[in-house]
Structure 1
Amino acid sequence: MLHAVETRSAEGATPQRSAARRTALLMLGAGVALAVTAVIGIGLGSNPIHPATVVEAIFAYDPANNAHLVIVLSRLPRIVLGLVVGAALGLAGTLMQSVTRNPLADPGILGVNAGASLAVVIAIAFLGVQSVAGYVWFSFIGAAAAATLVYLLGSARGNAGTPVRIALAGTAVSIVIGALTQMVLLSNDAAFNSFRFWAVGSLQGRGFDVIVTVLPFIAVGILASIALISPLNAVTLGDDVATALGTSTTAARIGVAFAVVLLAGSATAAAGPIGFIGLGAAHIARFFTGNEHRRLIPASMLVGAALLVIADTLGRVAVAPAELQTGVAAALFGGPLFVALVRSRKVAAL
């Protein structure tokens, strides 16, 4: 009897150890790719800087060295913002997929980015708001309103919000919000000039002031996500099982909605609407870690950060000496990668 119990315990522990090893491998690979790409990305520009000089500037900064000044004051903020925004989008995508059990859930697909964009346009056009510190609050309001509208439409008439219904509702809401956004922009030249570079999604021209503005909100979103680990693990088993385990599914969804609005709203306010990152990072992380959120949350953040920094760097290399905006690069390079991932591997079930 004792031998049988020990055997079952060993069999149950083996998948856990295997998932832990895969997670460690993913974290190591993503970390190395992120570090290498960041060093290369910092060195790119009208005045190329050798990677050795980049590393020296980061670990042994000398304000009397012109190359170090360029790196720390101009190029480093771009990479740091890419890390912060990518991590926020990766985590937001993971939370949305987990709580809705919808593999298509993503801040871009479900209209969250579109809602934040419309709110920012209104703030710029009618209220004269010009800084990230000013319109980040409008971004939160727009993101929350769009997410609520999509959920209500997707679960109308008492029907459960199936993945397809939610995705269709998100697409419809995004189209309508996009049309409203264009209507405001075309009728206001000043708003159009202020908005057009932000709208395509870019890390260019953002300084540490932008990072300082959005980082507290993203930090709260991350902390809220960590607090929701146990409820999320239960919800992924289904609402009936989660309720039987003593988990309030309503409270879990409200908590996730709060975290997603903070994460996606802050990321969109800082860098504009950037697609694919949340969707791709969540699927890649889940493939390695499974549905255990103690592993999934940090993995999705690191993968999201790596994907965005890599996309931004590839966009700068592809059309050098010109520059491809980060949002466009994320779609061009990330979209085919995600299609290949889905076609070649079985995506983890939600």
Structure 2
Amino acid sequence: MKITQISCYLGSGIFYVKVDTDQGVSGYGECSRMNNEAVLSLIRTTIAPAVLGMNVFDLEKIEEKVMKHHYKISGQLLAMAYSGIEIALWDAKGKLLHQPIYNLLGGSYRNRAEAYGSSLQRDLSVVEEAERLKEAVDTLGLRAIKIKTGPRMGRGAPNLREDAYKVRSVRDALGSEIDLMIDGNSYYTYMQAIQLFNMIEDCRLYHYEEPCPYDDVEAYVKLANRLPVPIHVGEQDWNLYTFRDFVARGACHYYAVDAVKCGGFANAMRASVLCRAFGIQYVPHNTSQGIGLAATLQLAATVPHFGGYVEYRILSKDHGCEYVANKFQLQNGGFAIPDGPGLGIQMDEERMERELVKVVLC
């Protein structure tokens, strides 16, 4: 089954990929939407020429041609671009074999995944965010919430008192029965991360996500050994040896690669195997409500050492979900794992053709 055409569909906050084959079967994937123009350029100039004409089932060869043959330009951006292609190839394989992807990865370990509500907000007032999160918990049946603290990495000076006030306000609004997580997005230094935690220790955090620069393994080794809270990292990682360093050195308790950033299913499963070998909980990262969420649920279905929750974006909408015909339904705080062929979703192809910018590569 050869790859005959790659099409990219772009919109505001949307980067979907379609891979066509000579058997009339097509697969869909999603790339991280951090820089659509740069990702599209890499697919056009580097990835498409390498994979067109190859067999959909030869994933190791395909990955080698994309990631290893272009090692001079490899990095997170190339991994993001390749992720959409790789996910689409798995979707096509599953459709050809009439199997959900989780059956190709190792079979079904669970048919449902609990979700935590991920706020992603930095522009709301503390009071408004706390109120809206409480409403989301009550309306959606969520049992866990994650909030942002501080700006993103490298944007502004820290204000630990404000960050502590936000965490405490949200904890007070949610009550003691809801799991609360915070995400620093690589914002703090090692000492600032410790100072903030000491200010909010009584708020009983479920996990402390990426407080220090995401690639500072040494800082995370020290944090994981010093603080009495699970450390959560991994969303920026794409390299097998980075996976190894974080997991083998005990730099985290939860490891969270993202399928639309790390290079797709194969790399996500490599991270999962490392986690299992070293007793680390595996929690795939996700901010998509569309194809990326479908991929995340396929991973959650098959991993025994899954860390309890999948991430689900709330308080803001991912417009990519509008192009999924059979939209995901959050029920009692969780999702049923799609069991249809491939990703288990159907795309609204007519709407995609009508509303998104299509770029055909063949």
Instruction: Indicate the TM-score class for this superposition, using the shorter chain for normalisation.
Output: under 0.3
Q: Per residue, is there more strand in 1 or in 2?
A: 2
Give the TM-score normalised by the residue count of structure 2: 0.26
